[in-house]
Every structure is written in structure tokens, then in C-alpha cells.
Structure 1
Amino acid sequence: MSDQNESQQPKEPESGAEQTSAPAAVPAQSGKKTELPSQRPDVSYTLLSNGMDYLVSVFQHLTEGATPPSARDLKYTVLHLQAATEVLLKARLVHEHFSLVFADPREATYDKWKSGKFKSCGTLDAFDRLRRIARLALSDDDRDGIAELAKDRNALQHYGLTHNAHAVEFRAAIVLEFLNTFIHEHLIPELDPAEAARVERNMDSLRLQFKGIKTLVKQRMNNLRSALAKVADVTVKCPDCEQWALVADGAEAGPTCRFCYQSWDYLPQSAAANYAWIILGLDENSNIADGYDPPVTNCPNCEAYALVTEAVTAADPSGTTPLCFACGNVFHHLTDCGGCGTMMDSGQPDRLPLCSNCARLRYPGEALR
């Protein structure tokens, strides 16, 4: 092969270099060039996986480096958070129609879309189209937070930025809060089951890092404070993020943390067990040896095995309150039935502790009234 033979010809040595004899030419074996197999995988990211990868990087820079995050970590937090926001907004926009991702949808064609050879819309354009066309419930405050982050990103990318670190963290926290809600409420429901499962797994791992981002915790809890105050009597610490945001109000979907969005779908028993073990440090055998009630037992109201007898609620963080994670009932006079020993709520502290079955047996005449 000619190019192979030419490559074996001796070259003129550089000035002062020692001359050596040229190696013998290797005879060409074939007229075809042999392509060696690639030793590295192709770079392959879908729109969705690309956005999630940027988001993972944001959490790495905020939680896995110096504490508090260094200037370099904050720089990449801003850059990658802006990229994650843009890409994830567009990932949701595609589910309306791919043409909406084009800067000018009138120029959209399927071939351009598949080849990626087109100019896409900006982040705020994507946000506005999701509101106007997809009719998503996105607020002006969300838009303002994204716009401020975009300003920081553009400054860093093009001419540098000098800014208070707390201000950068605060802006990042606002957008992270938005993305957390956006992904769970608007993106995951549109995905096929396999994609939804992958995103959920990513969010599960990121959820554990939420508590390490102090500014995010403060911002999000401030936003949730008024709503959580209304359900303080059925709100406890979440076993996942350890925030006072796990609401066990008897909702059909099961107990849900309003901070990290962890939920126990239709499994209040698991929520009760996780709470008792992780937050209270009690397992199924705790208290029994001392003659006290187990930490989780059957609820006298709904009979589900989801009553935490020593729950600590936001309404009374210094005491304990029996709370059912299934029906959301709070019991103020929980005791054992004096007849059969089953758990019951006497209703009054001085009332004879008899369950309805035992009361009918002991006082049959009263039961007929």
C-alpha cells in the first residue's frame, strides 16, 4: 500500500541528530486498510441523561469537596446547574413536540432534529414555552431565579465573575429547589417506565445529599413553613433527609416528605417502621422487654400495622404522640383495653379502658341503648 510504504521511508534527521539506518520496509499484505477496534466507548448521552448528569455534577461540587464549597466548586455549580436547567427544561419540552426546542419552530424538520443540526431555543424561552404551550404551573419566581442564575453563568463563561459566595449559593439553592419539584411533578410522569425508573434512582441518591446543602435546606424549609404549619400534628422527621417534613395525614398515596419528595406509595407500614428505626432508633423488639408497648403496632382506628406509639411531631417536638402513618389519626389517650389487652383510645383519661367488643360483653344492656 503506497501510503504505508512511504511511511517507512527514511526521514532527514534534525540538525545535530545522529543518523541511523532506516528500518526495512514492511511489505503490504493487502490493498485494504485494517481498522483496529476502538479501545474507548463512544460518547453517548440522550437529552435526559445529559441533563441528569449535569445535575449529579452540581451535587458533587456542592457536597463532595471542601466545606463550605470552594470558589472553584461554586463556579462549576453555577455552570453545570445552568446547563442542567436548560437541558431538563428542553427534555420536557420535547414531550410536547420536538419542534418547540428549535429557536424558530417554523424551521423545524424531523431530519434536522435527529441530526442535531439546528439552533435551539434559550433556557428562558424553553421555560416560557412550557408555561404557554404545555400549560405547566411554573411561577414567575421560578423564572426570576433561573434568569439570575443565567446571569451568573454568562458572567463566569464570558468575562469572569466576582460575587459573594453566599449569594451564589442562595441563587443555586433556589434553582435546585425548582428542579427538584420540576423533575418529580412535570418530567417523570411523562417518561416511559424504564426512563422514569432511572431518573428516580438518580433522584434517590441525590436526595440523600440534600441535607448537606445548608442553603438549600434553609430556602426550601422557609418556603414550606406555612404549609407544614397547618399539618404540624401529623408531621415528623423524614428518615431520608431528616427534615421535619414527612407528613402522615392519611392521604391515599401514603406518607410523603414535602422536602425531598420521598414517598411510601401505599405502604404506610414501611414508613412507620423506617421512621421508628432510623429516627427513633427503635426496632420491633424495643420496649417489649421492659413491658412497654412496641414502637409500631396496629392502629385501633384503621387496624393497619402503622401506629408509631412514640412519634415526635412538629406540633410537640419535646414530647411523644401516638401517630398512625396509615390513617393519620393522633391518639391522646392511648391505652390497653382492660378486658382483652388490645390497643385502644379511651377518649378520656378517666374513662374505663374497654374496647367496644369488651364493653358489649360486660355491659350488654348499655350496648342496646
Structure 2
Amino acid sequence: MTDQTAPKDPDGPEGTAEQVPTSAAVPSQAEKKTKRVSQRPDVSYTPVSNGLDYLVSVFQHLTEGATPPSARDLKYTVLHLQAATEVLLKARLAREHFSLVFADPTQATYDAWQKGDFKSCGTLDAFDRLRNIARLTIEEEDRKRIKELSDHRNALQHYGLTHNAYAIEARAARVLNFLITFIHRHLIPGLEPAEAQYVEQGMDSFRLQLRGIETLVKQRMNDLRSELAKLADVTVKCPDCEQWAMIADGRDEGPTCLFCHQVWPEDPMSAAANYAWIVLGLDEHSSFQDGGDPPVVECPDCGVCALVTEAVTAAGRPGATPLCFSCGTVFKSLIDCEGGCGTVLDFAPDGESIPMCSNCIDIRFARF
């Protein structure tokens, strides 16, 4: 009879059959998760490096894309330039004291600061606190430009924006100029050596690229030089692009900027009010509170309330030259009506005429 017993394993224990290998234990899902190593680094930016990264994006959109920059490039220029401004201003403010970054510093706690669980102040609040509390030397003109940038950003973010491309480029160049100076004077001196070196390296590139943007702006102004020279007596700084290229000469289409092509069609009163407020920093309410004359009055020639009495023209700067944004008349001898009605007169004393408007003359001499 044939032996049906399985052969013995000569290497195994005596009397055992051939051993079948068992399967390896399968690790649990929990064990797998603990052993998995992430292949992606954490997102980590200091406030300063975060601000610089936004600036890198700004310069990329202005200089490395289409020539001239596309509408999309300019959109992200506005959004990222505003973000860079806010982050860098607050980074310097936090160095003064972390509580100053809170919307309400009296409610600040260090725990909330560490967690980032708080409402921070606005960009303009940060600017004002840096100037008034940290006592940094930063100019009111820069505040105006940052406010305009914030307004553009809010419009883009929340309900859309239609604005002139040349004006956006020119304004961006000015805010960039401010930020580069701000970083150099107020941020770098207080950084740790390693971060200071990193920032300085970025600054070299920023300065070079900004020079290129400013060159484009200057080239466009140079192209307009001969045309603007003929109109210097009615040329003022544009409230949109801040170039000396806004013409108020009574043209049919209304006051027009030759640089950014902004036009106030058939609305010289709005153009005059915008110029007085944005460029000169004057508004009727403040003038009334201070006991002064309104910045925009009715023109003696055309009767439209578009005469800016303290306008500064390219031909007359730095002095004031009364200019009507409706008819383009430049006045040399304006006086207030002696009847006390507030009317402005173009009056040159001749020893015979009465310095009064016709209404006041009629009222005063009606009884005769």
C-alpha cells in the first residue's frame, strides 16, 4: 500500500507536515494615516513676506504680461496692491504694539492676537495710527492715494469697476513708490537680519521694475508735451491720474484729461467739484465750517457753478489762478459782491463802477 502521508519537512520539527505561510497582518486605517507623510509644505508667511509676495504679483501683472497690461492684469494690480499696502502698514503698526492693529485697541488681548481671532483696523486707520501714534513721517498725499486705491479695490471686489487703464497704471506707480520708500525707511530697520536681507533682495528688483513703469508714464506725458504747452493756462492736475493733463478750456465734450482720457461730458460742475476736493483738498462743507468761501462758485461769465477760485494751472503754478471749468475763462481780478450776497464778480476798479452784482444794486437803489 502506498503511503499517502504528506512528506515530512526535513528542516521543520519532527512529525510536522509542510507549513503553509500565513498572510501578513493588514495595518488599520488609523495606522496608515499616522505613517503617511505629507508631500506638501505648510502655508507659512510672515506679515512682511506676505506683503512682499503681493508686490511680486503686482509687478508681474504690470510688467510681465501683455503690453500694455490687459484688463485682467490691471484688476489684479488693484486687488493685490491694496492687499500689499494693508499688510505692510499693519506689519509696521504691530511692531509699535499689537493692540494697535485691532479695530478697537481697548478690546485687544494677546490671546486673540496670537490666534488671529479679531477684527482688525482698516487700511486708512493703520495709516493714521502710524502717523499719529508711531509718529512716522508719511505724507497726506500718500493717504489720499491709498484711499483712492481702497475705493477701487472695494468697487472691484463688491460690485465691479469701470476705470481708465492709464489712470490705474499712473496711480499704481505712485502707491508703489510710497510702499518702496515705506519699506526702506520704516520696515527694514526693525527686522531680524535674515528677513531684512530677504526683503532687501526683493527691493532691488522692485526698484528696477518701478523705474520701468514710471518711464512709460513719463514717455506718454512727453508725447503730449507740445499739445499741453499750448493749453498751459487752462491745464490742471487730473483728479483721476494725477498728471498735469486735464484741460478745462470750454470744449464741447467737457473738461478732458489728455493723459488718461477721462471726460466729464456736459458736467463741468462735477469736474470742478472733483478737482477741488481730490486735488486741492477743498470741499464746500469744510469751507463753510471754517468760515471761508466755497471752493467752487458761479462763474461771472457763463453763469455755471464751475469756477474754482483756487485752481492751480500749469502756467500759473504754484500760485492760484481762478479758472472756470465750464467756459474755460481765466480770471485775474475776482472780488466778492459788496452787497453781501456771496456772488463773485470779475471786477477791475475804475473809480466809477460799483463792486456789486446787479441784484444787489437793484435792491439797494430800488427806493430811489
Matched to 1:185, the amino acid is R
Matched to 1:151, the amino acid is D
Query: 1:33 is matched with which residue: 28, 31, 36?
Result: 31
In 2, Cα distance between equivalents of 1:215 and 1:162: 25
Aligned runs of 1:1-369 on 2, under 5 Å?
28-30=26-28, 32-35=30-33, 36-214=36-214, 218=218
Shift of 1:215: 6.2
In 2, Cα distance between equivalents of 1:169 and 1:146: 14
Contact 1:170–1:216 (8 Å) recurs in 2: no
Contact 1:99–1:105 (8 Å) recurs in 2: yes
Contact 1:62–1:74 (8 Å) recurs in 2: yes
User: Helix, strand or coil for the counterpart of 2:68?
Assistant: coil
Shift of 1:33: 3.3
| TM-score where L is the length of structure 2 | 0.51
Matched to 1:208, the amino acid is L
**Structure whose alpha-carbon radius of gyration is higher:** 2
Contact 1:61–1:77 (8 Å) recurs in 2: yes
Unmatched runs of 5 consecutive residues or more in structure 2: 1-23, 223-368
- Output one character per residue of 1:251-270: Cα deviation in whole Å (capped at 9) or x when no partner: xxxxxxxxxxxxxxxxxxxx
Unmatched runs of 5 consecutive residues or more in structure 1: 1-25, 223-369
- Output one character per residue of 1:34-78: Cα deviation in whole Å (capped at 9) or x when no partner: 221112111111111100100111011111011111111110000
Shift of 1:189: 1.3
Shift of 1:177: 1.1
In 2, Cα distance between equivalents of 1:145 and 1:216: 20
- Output one character per residue of 1:285-308: Cα deviation in whole Å (capped at 9) or x when no partner: xxxxxxxxxxxxxxxxxxxxxxxx
Contact 1:59–1:206 (8 Å) recurs in 2: yes
User: Helix, strand or coil for the counterpart of 1:34?
Assistant: helix
In 2, Cα distance between equivalents of 1:103 and 1:175: 24
Give the root-mean-square deviation of aligned CA atoms: 2.4
Contact 2:180–2:207 (8 Å) recurs in 1: no
Which residue does 2:272 correspond to in 1?
Answer: none
In 1, Cα distance between equivalents of 2:90 and 2:64: 28
In 1, Cα distance between equivalents of 2:207 and 2:136: 24
In 1, Cα distance between equivalents of 2:68 and 2:42: 36
| TM-score where L is the length of structure 1 | 0.50
In 2, Cα distance between equivalents of 1:31 and 1:68: 55
User: Helix, strand or coil for the counterpart of 2:31?
Assistant: coil
Contact 2:102–2:119 (8 Å) recurs in 1: yes
In 2, Cα distance between equivalents of 1:203 and 1:59: 12
- Output one character per residue of 1:91-114: Cα deviation in whole Å (capped at 9) or x when no partner: 111110111111111111111111
In 1, Cα distance between equivalents of 2:156 and 2:28: 54
In 1, Cα distance between equivalents of 2:178 and 2:192: 22
Matched to 2:170, the amino acid is F
Shift of 1:210: 2.2
- Output one character per residue of 1:135-160: Cα deviation in whole Å (capped at 9) or x when no partner: 00111101000000001100111100
In 2, Cα distance between equivalents of 1:73 and 1:89: 24
Alignment size in residue pairs: 197
Matched to 1:210, the amino acid is L
TM-aligned CA distance change 1:118 to 1:140, over 3 Å: same
Higher alpha-carbon deviation: 187-196 or 54-63:
187-196
Contact 1:174–1:216 (8 Å) recurs in 2: no
Shift of 1:196: 1.2
TM-aligned CA distance change 1:49 to 1:173, over 3 Å: same
User: Helix, strand or coil for the counterpart of 1:41?
Assistant: coil
TM-aligned CA distance change 1:27 to 1:210, over 3 Å: same
Shift of 1:217: 6.1
In 1, Cα distance between equivalents of 2:30 and 2:211: 60
User: Helix, strand or coil for the counterpart of 1:65?
Assistant: coil
User: Helix, strand or coil for the counterpart of 1:119?
Assistant: coil
Higher alpha-carbon deviation: 157-166 or 105-114:
105-114
